Amino acid sequence: MQWGARSDTGCDKPLKALEPGGSVAGGPAARVLQSRDGTDQRSPADGTPGLREDNVLAPRRYDGRRMSNNAESFEHWIRTSFVQMNTELEELYFAQQDRSRVIGVGESIKHALRDEGHTHVIALRAEGNTGEGFDSAFGVLGNVGLYLGALRRHELTNPAREERSPFPEASSLAVHCGASLGMAPRFATAHLTIHNRARAGLRKSFTSLADEFLFIDENTRGILSLQRAADALTSIVHLGVSNPAADVMFEAAKHSLQEMIQVNRRLAASLDVERFFHCVRPYYKPYRVGRLEYRGANAGDFSGINELDLLLGLCRANDPYYGQLLVDKLLFMLPGDQARLKECMTRRSLLDELLELLPEHAATDWFQRNARAFLEVCGLFGRTAAQHHDELVKRFIERPAARLGEEQSQGLTASGPPLPVLLRALEVLRDLRVAADRPDIATRHRDLARLRAALR
């Protein structure tokens, strides 16, 4: 993975302007559409709802008068027409015998998506304003990222066959926003989960497919659960692991991890494998911004999961493998999360604290109580990690990928490496978190066993 992307500002297309009154030139009024049955349909120019101007998806009319600025206009497009076009394309792909076939399907919709998004990008890039506060710049970064992610999904760009992004304006807008925020210049998990502000209940998404919303909502709940567990353990750092009052925070951590277990169960039981694999996951592929390729977002791009790893002591920042993983994911996190993770890396783990106290204090009530609670938290955390790998990754990625040929499996993962390599890396993380008895990696298996042996 590479950082510090150079902004790619060469513009090879004529700029489209916003029309007087705010409607986008070549936008909804003039758009040629392809419906589900493949026929072309034209969105009416008189403002009556057309194929895309669906009032369910568009809480505000796209008439420009209520759009206060370019950023809001882009936001509205992303929440309405963009979603509708992606959904229509997904239905076209999904209806085919070969659901992975994308090239040559729904071309007029793809071109409308590309051109309408481009118009918004041009207006925002010309405005050059990321100074309206964090939320505004973060929102634009997410929207341009969703746009580029969709272009990648629909094969209008593919890093494997290009040396630079064919979308230089979107790239330079993304780089500008990303650099000003201190984040990678692409959409991050937070854009679709914990910083995905609902408008009258509607969250941002690529499509309006039920399975995408299920995935986004459960990922959000999962991240929130792990964040709560991490908050609880952070309180114990300040209390000290020998503090009798730590019991309430161990309880809070256990409760949050039990919620995470429920999230994973719901996903495993309710998410449709085919829909997820063919219509949701492909939006999380890597893509180029300027010349550099950035890995896709995944639900792990928040600090809470690593705070848990480090505070429990199951993973260590001085382990070269794990330390590199932390460095690699830092810029995919919100700046606040980056700061939390960096601070957490300077802490001593609760496990190391307990092991140091063990020889002298193992017989005391506080040691017995807190060591037991600590081991319970570790057990629950390990269960969430095992679920992630053995149920979610296996069921939703590994098995469906096995049914595809090698060529179609390429570019399947969010981080980019071939699937078997990614699976081995995820297996290592699972085994660190369950403290497996694996001599080839530095798990805490023996240390946990020592602690367990000290319990009455």
Least distance to ligand HEM, CB of residue 382, Å: 12
Which is nearer to ligand HEM, 92 or 326 (by Cβ)? 326
Written as six digits, the tokens of 326 are 């932390």
Nearest to 434 by CA among 401, 373, 390: 390
Which is nearer to ligand HEM, 258 or 298 (by Cβ)? 298
Which is nearer to ligand HEM, 181 or 299 (by Cβ)? 299
Least distance to ligand HEM, CB of residue 179, Å: 24
- Binding site residues, ligand HEM, CB under 6 A: 218-219, 222-223, 226, 263, 267, 271, 298-300, 305, 388, 392-393, 396-397, 413-415, 422, 426, 429
Residues in contact with 43: Cβ distance below 8 Å, sequence separation at least 6, in sequence order = 28, 29, 30, 31, 33, 50, 51, 52, 53
| Paired residues of 34 in beta bridges | 40
Would you say 282 and 156 are in contact if contact means Cβ atoms under 8 Å apart?
no
How many angstroms separate the CA atoms of 412 and 278, rounded? 10
Least distance to ligand HEM, CB of residue 207, Å: 16
- Indicate the Cα dihedral angle 356, 359, 365, 370, nearest 10°: 30
Which is nearer to ligand HEM, 192 or 226 (by Cβ)? 226
Least distance to ligand HEM, CB of residue 280, Å: 9
**What three-state secondary structure class fits 376?**
helix
Which is nearer to ligand HEM, 119 or 384 (by Cβ)? 384
Least distance to ligand HEM, CB of residue 425, Å: 8
Least distance to ligand HEM, CB of residue 272, Å: 10
Could you tell me where the beta strands, DSSP code E, fall in 44-189? none
Nearest to 136 by CA among 176, 173, 177: 177
Which is nearer to ligand HEM, 89 or 315 (by Cβ)? 315
Nearest residue to ligand HEM, using CB?
A: 300
Least distance to ligand HEM, CB of residue 74, Å: 27
Least distance to ligand HEM, CB of residue 415, Å: 3
DSSP assignment string, 300-359: T-SHHHHHHHHHHTSS-TTSHHHHHHHHHHHTTS-HHHHHHHHHHTTSPPHHHHHHHHHH
Find the helix or strand (DSSP H, E) in which 136 lies. helix 134-153
DSSP tag of 159: G
Which is nearer to ligand HEM, 305 or 344 (by Cβ)? 305
Which is nearer to ligand HEM, 266 or 361 (by Cβ)? 266
